[in-house]
Amino acid sequence: MPLKVEFLFDFGSPNAYLAEIAIPGIERRTGVKFAYVPILLGGIFKATGNMSPFDSLRGIKNKPEYQALETQRFIRRHNVTKFRQNPFFPVNTLMLMRGAVAAQFEGVFEPYFRAAYHHMWEEPKKMDDLEIFRSAFISSGIDIDRLIARAQQDDVKKRLIDLTNDAVSRGAFGSPTFFVGKEMFFGKDQLRDVEESIVEQTRQPVSKTA
């Protein structure tokens, strides 16, 4: 069976945005395609008692500054040029994530995904405001009214809930989370280990001849 490699993401996570930029390089080097799995980060936080670094690091001396330094190192290592902090962070991503599921069902996930990340972390906007949300996607050529309507249907809502609950049941507590087969990795800084695990799990055993 082919190795299943999954990228569990929520558009509200800047670290998931940064991690995704490195995925195509890993795919080229390993020959393995990642499956993009939408999850609702707020649901995961509620289920696990976790919270975003925006909240958990508030008031802590030195740690936020160090994490900002690590982010800059990651940006330099991967030559990230378009990333901008979203001044409206944190953003409620329920519309965005339901839209991602709807886009997968409708076969337009790639353009929707790129547009969502563009308007969250490249030309940042308040993407939990419905009118701003609509205008942003329309400007990117997305038939967003069709996806908004699709996102209100029960199968889309259930799919997002099921993916989120499944992520928690497998050990996830945030985003980005990666699964290489059954092995879980959390955070953009684990991408080297993700790639190493892919190589190890896809390495063909050497046949022995008598």
Q: Is 13 designated active site? A: yes
Q: List Cβ neighbours of 192 (8 Å cut-off, separation of 6 or more).
A: none
Q: List Cβ neighbours of 106 (8 Å cut-off, separation of 6 or more).
A: 146, 147, 150
Distance between CA atoms of 91 and 86, rounded to whole angstroms?
9
Distance between CA atoms of 62 and 67, rounded to whole angstroms?
9
The single residue of 13, 52, 175, 197 carrying the catalytic annotation is 13
Residues 125, 126, 131, 137: what is their CA dihedral angle, to the nearest 10 degrees?
A: 40
| Catalytic sites, residue numbers | 13
